[in-house]
Structure 1
Amino acid sequence: MTEQSAPTESATVLSWSGGKDAAHALYALGTDEVTELLTTISENGRSSMHGVRRELYAKQAESLGLPIQFVEIPQECVNEEYESRMASVMAEYESRGIKRIAFADLFLEDVRNYRESRLAETNIEGIWPLWNRDTDEQIRAFLDVGFRATVVTVDGSLFDSSFAGRELDSTFLADAPESIDPCGENGEFHTFVWDGPIFDSPVSTETGEVVTREVGDGEFHYCDLR
């Protein structure tokens, strides 16, 4: 974890995936409003959903000028263990005077209800700056303001492996199956944002090999970013 900043009267932490929606949520809130980024990372040093390395999240945070807190979880993490570790973090935030935690969810009611149920046990308020935005408009707005991102994970039941490692742009969206949500809100794809209006400078990355892994009942293609 990087050095913590002192909480303000409206101190807000942003749940951070490093992807397009989290970056746009930060843009909507403003970097002056957000005290810290919060992300979970597997004990192998990578995001469990995105497969992105811890050090790349740290470089994102450095370019954003914000501290980031990493919550380490086991690679095969049961829900009880996840909730226990997150409860410890929420208790720490309460002791530091954190008032709000922001999430970049767009429309998944069950996800929002789960988050609200966990926060109900604390004095921290949940906020959703992108909630119920039309996802076609959302992805266009994300690209129009100058964000740039690499697609790091795709659902193998929807995409072939060549889509992993591509830049998220109008060409990617045109080539993607029509059935997907354009923001990938149902888990169709995940991204790593490396440049945009909230960054002091681009995060230098290069794409590596693409590997295919079984996750639950499905198969996903991951592009290694270095």
Structure 2
Amino acid sequence: MADPKTVVSWSGGKDAAYALLELGTDSVAELLTTISENGRSSMHGVRRELYEKRAESIGLPIRFVELPLACSNEEYESRMANVMAEYESRGIDRVAFADLYLEDIRRYREYRLEKTSIDGCWPVWNPNTEEQIESFLDAGFRATVVAVDDSLLDSSFVGRELDPAFLADLPRDIDPCGKNGEFHTFVRDGPIFDSSISVEDGKTVTREVGDGEFHYCDLR
């Protein structure tokens, strides 16, 4: 079998997990995620050790890019450019992203990769998010909602299982995949893992993010 030449941009959430299922782990060299210097993922607030446990269960190495707590876009781009340069030297062909339909984000990623020999890959690009969330649940994945945007959802949604009951409770104007940043998830079980992981919901923490606030479930 040829050496795997794909890296997956890995949030640990539902879309990244489904993208990895679509790609197949045999084609993937490693997972790539960003964490803040406090040891938690930049957007989801999940602890580094939980990512390590999930990667071990998948059977793939995971690469952490550490970012300052108050990270500028320039600093982020500089650190990611260094990672892409290393991937080029290793012969990585492409980086897979789990974006579903946000064209501006896809164009940004494509622009950043134009300066490299690495291609972008979008295995779950699908504007129909109702179909996407149904496919995710039908595949047997289980996920916990770990963060919600206070301006769009109240704190009662954080810490809940991502299941039909959760989806039924969402306001009608909220995307069922949360692709406008309404909520974020951490996948605990599913067909890409050798075993499930038991997590304990800690307290709900509210933090300022940009000009707004997010509610986080402190998984342990």
Q: TM-score, normalised by structure 2?
A: 0.97
SS of 1:85's partner is helix
Aligned to 2:35: 41
C-alpha separation in 1, matches of 2:40 and 2:87: 24
| 1:127 and 2:121 matched | yes
Query: What secondary structure does 2:86 align onto?
Result: helix
2:76 to 79, 82, 103: 82
What residue identity is the alignment partner of 2:92?
Answer: I
Aligned-partner Cα distance in 1 for 2:43–2:174: 18
Work out whether residues 126 and 132 of structure 2, in 8 Å CA contact, stay in contact via their aligned partners in 1: no
Structure 1 residue 30 displacement after superposition: 0.6
> Which residue pairs with 2:64 in the alignment?
70
1:59 to 36, 40, 53: 53
Which residue of 170, 183, 199 corresponds with 1:189? Answer: 183
Shift of 1:214: 1.6
Which whole-Å CA distance do the structure 1 matches of 2:123 and 2:41 have between them? Answer: 23
Distance 1:41 1:211 in 2: 18
- Alignment deviations for residues 197-220 of structure 1 (CA, whole Å, 9 cap, x no partner): 110001221110001112111111
Task: Confirm or deny: 8 A CA contact 2:4 2:29 kept in the other structure.
Answer: no
Q: Quote the residue 2:102 is aligned against.
A: 108
Amino acid at match of 1:68: I
Preserved CA contact (<8 Å) 2:9 2:32: yes
Shift of 1:188: 0.3
Task: Write the distance in 1 (CA, Å) between the matches of 2:153 and 2:80.
Answer: 33
Following the alignment from structure 2 to structure 1, what is the Cα–Cα distance between the partners of residues 109 and 38?
25
2-structure distance, mates of 1:157, 1:224: 20
Q: Distance in 1 between matches of 2:212 and 2:167?
A: 22
Structure-to-structure mapping, 1:1-226, within 5 angstroms: 8=2, 11-226=5-220
1:136-193 deviation digits (Å, cap 9, x = unpaired)? 0000000011000000001112222121100100000001111111100010000000
| CA RMSD between the two structures | 1.2
Normalised to the residue count of structure 1, the TM-score between the two structures is 0.95
Contact 1:149 1:192 survives alignment (8 Å): yes
Which consecutive residues of structure 2, in runs of 5 or more, have no partner in the other structure? Answer: none
Q: How many residues align?
A: 220
Q: Offset at 1:132?
A: 2.6
Q: CA deviation at 1:133?
A: 4.2
- C-alpha contact 2:4 2:26 (8 A) present in aligned 1: no
